[in-house]
Amino acid sequence: MLRFVIRRLLLLVPILFGLSVALFAWVRALPGSPAQALLGERATPETIKRIEELYGLNEPLHVQYWKFLVQAAQLDFGSSIQTNRPVTEEMLDRFPATFELAVAALVFAVALGVPLGYFAARRYRTWLDQVSVTGSLIGITIPVFFLAYLLKYVFSVQLGWLPASGRQDTRIFDAEHPTGFYVLDGLITGNMPAFWDALAHLVLPAIALGTIPLAIVTRITRAAVLDVLHEDYVRTAEAKGLARRVVTRRHVLRNALLPVSTVVGLQFGLLMSGAVLTETVFAWNGVGSFVASAIFRRDYPTLQGFILVIALLFALVNLLVDISYGLIDPRVRVK
């Protein structure tokens, strides 16, 4: 297993190199100039030239790429054109918000999706199964922004149960944020009002972002459990009189969770990179909204840095999923 992990980590080097080439080419192919986007339509050629010299945009492309590669290897992605702050600092400020939101959405999806999929398979072709299939179909097809605005209108505007936007109420002055994860910070610092307030702000964005993963996890779990239930060893175990909970724990869930763990890993990467609409609707100061703004402003350093780091996180999460195979099912051994 250790050799497998080391081999997979080494494999990341050519993958990230290829991604950096494609990313650099894509960013430079975006229409418009960063200096023009920053200064506006009334900018003079002289001011545009000064901005391009400041950020090295007037240099040949191969020189720009080499500088980007050398700096990225040192986790230095230059300065953001739109904020003039180091991109690394912007990441440290915004990644905790998106990571917290993605984890909450994934917990919501897995905590509901696995039981729903399991019981739907156990009660195949009953009303519970039909409700599960129909609900998951609606969850996959409903647009994220529509669901986000619907949740916000019902639970914030009409009922007033939950906050409509932001990560924390501005009236909580004594909240400290040593890690940037507001819910965790409330627990660490012992500030329970700040903890409950951060948790309340997290509920609606997490549900909006986690609905599609919930539907996918439910469908995958249902299909995987149905396959396992038809295996001979499960029927034999039940015929021997083993309790259902024992059969479920030892034989059904252990085998059915393998494809589910793969989907969960992929969904986490997608949640990290696809939270743009949710963060925009709920004014969530995370990566998604900042990267979307960087695209419109042609902020090359920000786009290159954030997308490369998200790709690295995506690869690491999938590595953890592969490792979890051997932990979930001892028959699976990675050689």
> What would the 3-class secondary structure string for 183-224 be?
HHHHHHCCCHHHHHHHHHHHHHHHHHHHHHHHHHHHHHHHHH
Selected residue with higher pLDDT from 5 and 102 = 102
Q: Is the pLDDT of residue 259 over 60?
A: yes
Q: Report the pLDDT value the prediction gives residue 196, as an integer from 0 to 100.
A: 93
Q: Is the pLDDT of residue 107 over 90?
A: yes
Q: What value, to the nearest 5°, has the Cα angle with vertex 298 and ends 292 and 300?
A: 95
> Which residue reads 């295996």 in tokens?
231
Q: Report the pLDDT value the prediction gives residue 226, as an integer from 0 to 100.
A: 87
State the pTM of this model.
Answer: 0.81
Please report which confidence band the pLDDT of residue 299 belongs to, taking 50, 70 and 90 as the band edges: confident
Average pLDDT over residues 144-148: 88
pLDDT in tens, 314-333: 888 877 877 777 666 666 55
Say how far apart CA 282 and CA 299 lie, in whole Å: 23
pLDDT in tens, 300-318: 888 888 888 888 888 888 7
Q: Report the pLDDT value the prediction gives residue 200, as an integer from 0 to 100.
A: 94
Q: Report the pLDDT value the prediction gives residue 124, as an integer from 0 to 100.
A: 84
* Residue 142 DSSP class: S
At the topology level of CATH, where does 87-332 sit?
MetI-like fold (1.10.3720)
Distances (CA, A) of 30 to 54, 151, 161, 298: 20, 35, 43, 7
What crossing angle do the helices spanning 300-328 and 61-73 adopt, rounded to 10°? 50
| High-pLDDT (> 90) share of the chain, % | 16
Average pLDDT over residues 150-176: 88
Distances (CA, A) of 295 to 26, 39, 132, 211, 298: 11, 15, 38, 26, 5
Say how far apart CA 36 and CA 56 lie, in whole Å: 15
pLDDT in tens, 206-247: 999 999 999 999 999 998 888 888 788 877 877 877 777 777
Q: Domain residues of the chain, as ranges?
A: 87-332
- Provide the CA 135 distance to its chain's centre, in angstroms: 23
pLDDT in tens, 164-201: 888 888 887 778 888 888 898 888 888 898 999 999 99
Return all residues near 111 (Cβ < 8 A) that are at least 6 apart.
none
Q: Report the pLDDT value the prediction gives residue 331, as an integer from 0 to 100.
A: 61
Could you tell me the two tokens for 179?
């890690």
Q: Report the pLDDT value the prediction gives residue 109, as an integer from 0 to 100.
A: 93
Say how far apart CA 103 and CA 114 lie, in whole Å: 16
Say how far apart CA 276 and CA 273 lie, in whole Å: 8
Q: Report the pLDDT value the prediction gives residue 332, as an integer from 0 to 100.
A: 58
Please report which confidence band the pLDDT of residue 266 belongs to, taking 50, 70 and 90 as the band edges: confident
Please report which confidence band the pLDDT of residue 283 belongs to, taking 50, 70 and 90 as the band edges: confident
